[in-house]
Structure 1
Amino acid sequence: MAKIRLADALVKILEKEGTKFVFGHPGEQILPFYQALQNSSIKHILTRHEQGAAHAADGYARSSFQPGVCVASAGPGALNLVMGVATAYKDSIPLLVITGDVSSQLKGENVFQDVDINAVFEPITLQSHLVKEPQEGIQLLKMTILTLKTGKTGPIHLNIPRDVLQMEVDQSLLDETVELNLPNDWSNLKPAEKLVENSKKPLILAGAGVLWAHAVDDLHVLAEKHRIPVATTYPARGVLSEDHPLSLGLLGQRGTKAANFAGKNSDLVLAMGCRLSERTLKGLGDVPIIQVNLDEKVLKGSVNIQADVKKFLEKIRKTPPKNTDKWLEQLSKHPKTHKIRTNFKKTPLKPQRAIKEILEGKDDSILVNDAGSHTTWVNLLIKALESPSLIFSGGLGPMGYGVPASVGVSLARPDKKVVVVVGDGGFQMTLQELATITELDLPIVICLINNRSLGIIRQWQELYYGAPFQVELDNPDFVKLANAYHMQAKRVDSPDDILSAVKDALKLNKPVLIEVIVDENEDIPLPE
């Protein structure tokens, strides 16, 4: 029987599974895998930092609803992935994370770049495996892909020593299949159906699990057939267009008045594919909750069903609640959007006016958000009309997510243009990925909100600690910096110039940076 190296076998499996892109940065211990990639149909995206590779793979997954793949070498290369992998873990984003490692006989000997990588990745992944035999590597990769596509989502990590990558196995192993037994516990289906039948004021709370289960259409059918209003968690915004008559928008902290009123006054919440985080729970009252999720660890409803959301929606579709007309009429009296003043005309430019203009100018582009005060303004002002139309990291919220994530988003959705909103603080954490964007000539417009400070931290310092400290930023000339990366750039500081700047940049179909100078003293509204 013909033999094949494990590195070559891994690439062939990825090809067969339809993997289009691998995001990474080469290093000594992962080189056998890179050698196998050379003659592959898979395109390697060379990011300038491994954190960028993980964020780019994350953005790709969120936009394509397919697992993202990121690769790094041993020691420092693998550790540089940690921020991006943790970000994906907190938001249950399916990532295949492959790291090379020092050869097996050197593991634990404290040689050059020898670190216990699996101990680091174990708490921020669904699974972290040290591959000791090539046969095991093939089996684990196949099971990982199957899990990420059909099971509980999140990062899965394969750490493979360099000598194992070069070991040979029988090529016949590539044709062997694996099976995944998904946990489906329907023992609470009857009590759930009874709750629905007796409900006069039901509310669907949709989480990102609806997206990963490919159950968006099923959610629409249930909501429209039985006229059940829908609120969403942060990462599920747009799962039902926020223009839809049954959409109430975001629920919880920063949620709409309509969504939070519904959450506190409904008589039944159907929590679909969400984990009921502390921010979401702020919008819910003491109400029966039917929670459906594949992840047993997050189940904390009144009636819990550990199962695939799509299958549950198919089963519950035939179970109508009571007539909801009066409930919907009651909800219609509460606003579905936030009232934020944006009609400022003077300078220094108010950030909320800047964000309003950017959102108007982006048209149907996908918006990628970073972390900072601008994040709040975006979430308060944007109307998500489809999913994914707003990409951002919710659970961990790292500064520097937006620019590298936009690389993956753009590659996943070549039919769309991408607009990034990032602060001057977050931008400088991953700005090296401008090189990745320009090398690939991606149609990404970066709107850099420059308030010359870590604005949201300054606000919290002034509010809770008396005075700001170490939050002022002595920034470079961002336009010249972008030009140095071969990117077109311009600076605006007038409210009347932003809309045209964004529209003109999008027409170029090229990478563009727009630096927007805003008032450094403007605060975001405090959560209610």
Structure 2
Amino acid sequence: MNSSDITIRCADALVKILELEDVKFIFGHPGEQILPFYDALKDSNIKHVLMRHEQGAAHAADGYARVSGDFGVCVATAGPGALNLVMGVGTAFKDSIPMIVITGDVESDLKGKNVFQDINVEGVFKPVTLNSFHIENPDDGVLKLKKAIESIKHGKTGPVHLNFPKDVLNEYVDMDLVSEIIRYSTNVASNGIEDAIKIIEKSERPLILAGTGVIWAHAVDKLRDFSKKYKIPVTTTYSARGVLPEDDPLCLGMIGLRGTTAANFAGKNSDVLIAIGCRFSERTKIGIGNADIIHVNLDADVLDGNVMIQSDAGEFLDKIFKIDIINTENWLKELENHKKTYEVKTDYVEIPIKPQRAINEILDASEDSITISDAGTHTTWVTLLKKVLGPSSLIFSGGFGPMGYGLPAAIGASFANPQKRVVLVVGDGGFQMTMEELAVIAQEKLPILICIINNCCLGIIKQWQDMHYSERFEVELENPDFIELAKAYGIKAERVNAPGEVFKAVENALSLEEPYLIDIMVDKEEGIILPKLSFK
């Protein structure tokens, strides 16, 4: 019998393709229309992680991708299941996180007839994905999945959505399609490379701005070698922190809003900015002056500069590693006069604890851990106080910043790197957005430490109201007892009320190597210096 005579159910073919791609985890929640896929998955060596909400599944796949460096996978059923994924998929899209998103749908002959759970899923996903496909036949579904995987592995990164009607999942395809090789190539414009080299060679104050494209291209070592060989200082975007350890003499830290003095001085005074794998967000632009810009990115839509090169970061660095030696000695000496750290007072002794004191103690006690942040005031303190020594060791949704990201992202991070402890710093408001995922942490016995910065309010919103409106409204929180909540899930927990106790509690929790929650009561009136952005 020829291989072309062998057929396989579409659902089984999809799982087989994911196995061939060495996918180890899928984060999801089953439902009627996706059941053929789950039927195929039950005999697979891929572990399915049953999240308690589809938003959590998408955030967990996101966290897994950021820490592992591979694409994440999340799955949901039709209608409400699919739409519950959208928040997490949109979060991944804003930060260019590679993700395969698979949803089930009503049967093909019922599509568009307003039957139970029928909705235009692709219309919803299209603005928050690189592509959203409605699959009309099994051959198309198999090829679309293979092409999607190749595109996010070798091209522009981000989520790709595939929507499978239930009947299509049950139809059969030739086994040959599963093993068919799909090619995806990227090309570097050689004329752009030569122009970039000429500009760099004439530079006296060059500066590298590294984004997460360096991480997704697996080019961290290449970037470090290039920086060290030519003694060019490095700044980073938020999500690329750690591509060069922040204690390295050539690393100036993060640029832009909340950036270090050294990074923003360098950005304002450099004569050539080599921007690799990043986009110029409004927050990044705050730290950039009038330098000639060499911008390298696979996404042509974000390119902006004097020399624009649509390229993978690794391929660009391979080709540019031939410039004549430049002298940056005077430039580096000038930069030595500027601080590479953030000046934040943390030695408060007051009760209730100042949040920055509490967060500093958390970070001091968990230096070798992966730190996950959520959204809110605490995120700024983590940004300012955390020294990042390796890529993907500080995780936060920078582009979208949804409350509730942290807990499920910590789950994905823990599966991605079980050798590292994961420490989640989360506000009491954000924690309650996705706290149902405590069930996953307990069930899987994930050694995640959850540190709740509890000020019984939506702190950052309260501060905006104080600054711009006459009174506070709907920001006070009547919180549950988080200790009893954790215990209900079988998770050990304790409450901390005084400075100095946080470090001990974190140190003790990490020694236990099991799930743990610390409820840290902090001063609800302590705010941060808010950015000077327009507020309407």
Task: Please state which band the TM-score falls in when normalised by the shorter chain.
Answer: over 0.9
1:420-453 Cα deviation digits (max 9, x unpaired): 0000000000000000011000010000000000
Structure 1: which 5+ residue stretches go unaligned? none
Secondary structure of residue in 1 paired with 2:228: helix
Question: Which residue number in structure 2 is paired with residue 398 of structure 1?
Answer: 402
Quick one: which amino acid aligns to residue 386 of structure 1?
A: G
Equivalents in 1 of 2:432, 2:515: separation in Å? 17
Query: Does 1:144 pair with 2:143?
Result: no
Query: Are the equivalent residues in 1 in contact too, given 2:257–2:286 (CA < 8 A)?
Result: yes
Q: How does 1:304-453 map onto structure 2 within 5 Å?
A: 304-320=308-324, 322-453=326-457
Quick one: which amino acid aligns to residue 248 of structure 1?
A: L
Query: Does 1:494 pair with 2:498?
Result: yes
Query: Does 1:227 pair with 2:224?
Result: no
1:49-92 Cα deviation digits (max 9, x unpaired): 00000000000000000000000000000000000000000000
Correspondence for 2:94 among 90, 95, 105: 90
Quick one: which amino acid aligns to residue 39 of structure 1?
A: D
Equivalents in 1 of 2:115, 2:531: separation in Å? 50
Correspondence for 1:255 among 259, 264, 267: 259
Secondary structure of residue in 2 paired with 1:204: strand
Question: Which residue number in structure 2 is paired with residue 207 of structure 1?
Answer: 211
Correspondence for 1:286 among 278, 283, 290: 290
Deviation at 1:180, TM superposition (A): 1.6
Provide the aligned C-alpha RMSD in A: 0.9
Question: Which residue number in structure 1 is paired with residue 248 of structure 2?
Answer: 244
Quick one: which amino acid aligns to residue 500 of structure 1?
A: K
Quick one: which amino acid aligns to residue 271 of structure 1?
A: A
Quick one: which amino acid aligns to residue 316 of structure 2?
A: F
Correspondence for 2:159 among 133, 155, 161: 155
Moved more, 206-215 or 138-147: 138-147
TM-score, scaled to structure 1:
0.99
Equivalents in 2 of 1:177, 1:233: separation in Å? 35
Secondary structure of residue in 2 paired with 1:187: helix
Quick one: which amino acid aligns to residue 145 of structure 1?
A: I
Structure 2: which 5+ residue stretches go unaligned? none
Equivalents in 1 of 2:325, 2:91: separation in Å? 38
Deviation at 1:495, TM superposition (A): 0.7
Query: Does 1:24 pair with 2:33?
Result: no
- In percent, how many aligned pairs have the same letter? 59
Secondary structure of residue in 1 paired with 2:235: strand
Query: Are the equivalent residues in 1 in contact too, given 2:102–2:163 (CA < 8 A)?
Result: yes
Deviation at 1:321, TM superposition (A): 5.6
Moved more, 185-194 or 261-270: 185-194
Question: Which residue number in structure 1 is paired with residue 70 of structure 2?
Answer: 66
Correspondence for 2:301 among 297, 311, 315: 297
Query: Does 1:52 pair with 2:56?
Result: yes
1:396-416 Cα deviation digits (max 9, x unpaired): 000000000001100000110
Equivalents in 2 of 1:98, 1:65: separation in Å? 20
Equivalents in 2 of 1:454, 1:69: separation in Å? 32
Moved more, 164-173 or 5-14: 164-173
Question: Which residue number in structure 1 is paired with residue 116 of structure 2?
Answer: 112
Question: Which residue number in structure 1 is paired with residue 83 of structure 2?
Answer: 79
Quick one: which amino acid aligns to residue 165 of structure 2?
A: P
Equivalents in 1 of 2:176, 2:390: separation in Å? 44
Quick one: which amino acid aligns to residue 93 of structure 2?
A: Y
Equivalents in 2 of 1:4, 1:52: separation in Å? 31
1:465-515 Cα deviation digits (max 9, x unpaired): 222111000100000011111110000011111001001001110000000
Query: Are the equivalent residues in 2 in contact too, given 1:196–1:321 (CA < 8 A)?
Result: no
Count of matched residue positions in the alignment of Structure 1 and Structure 2:
528
Question: Which residue number in structure 1 is paired with residue 190 of structure 2?
Answer: 186
Extract structure 1 runs of 4+ deviating beyond 3 A.
none
Moved more, 318-327 or 86-95: 318-327
Query: Does 1:169 pair with 2:176?
Result: no
TM-score, scaled to structure 2:
0.98
